[in-house]
Amino acid sequence: MDVPGDEYAVLAARAEAALSVRGSRFLALAIPVRERAGCEAEIAARRTHLHDATHHPFAYRLGEGGDVWRAVDDGEPAGSAGKPILGAVAGAGLSDALVVVTRYFGGTKLGVGGLARAYREAAAAAIVRGGRTVRVLSAVVELAVVQERVGSAMRAVTLAGGKILSSRYDGEVLLAVEIRRSRLEGLRASLLEATRGEVRISAR
């Protein structure tokens, strides 16, 4: 049985959205990401692609709890851009997501409140277009099984919903197995029963 915390919501696909407010154009790009390095590369690419723009504020959240995050105003008044973009990501309940909102200034100042609303609205529109999916948290373990019990061990893995990633022989048969995190303890019990205790299970 799967448990809460076994998965989290992420952005499904890259998507763009545009918003015009009193002459200024806000071009939002939402991108699925997995790590900080990927975020920085995407931000640099956006700045290069739209090099003539006034500002490129951004925000991202990473990890199962969204605990790794960053919000940057990129020259806009403090709190008027990065924080609202981050609020759109968090408000959608997403992690592993980066949103860059590029602004072309239209000649009319919007004020901090107006900027915040525009940045959040543009970011939210791109996020909606990108959609959401679920990322399942998994564990990888290594099984050491005597040759006579390999078939039983492999059946137990399959019945538990696990996936055998690799196998090799080193006196015993060594199986690398990926399993949904919440099912790991159930797999341990099933393996011990199926092999009559002739299995060693270790984290990889």
pLDDT in tens, 152-198: 999 999 999 999 999 998 889 999 999 998 899 999 999 999 999 99
CATH assignment at residue 178: 3.30.70.240
**Residue 82, domain CATH:** 3.30.230.30
Please give the residue range of the domain that contains residue 26. Answer: 7-135
- Shared domain check, 99 and 43: yes
Q: Is the pLDDT of residue 5 over 60?
A: yes
If one counts the domains in the chain, the total is 2
R_g over Cα of the chain: 24
pLDDT of residue 110: 87
Residue at which a domain ends, from 107, 135, 163: 135
In a domain, 1, yes or no: no
Q: Residues 45-99: pLDDT tens digits?
A: 999 999 999 899 999 999 988 999 999 999 999 999 999 999 999 999 999 999 9
What's the pTM value of the predicted model, to 2 decimals? 0.80
Do residue 66 and residue 50 come from a single domain?
Answer: yes
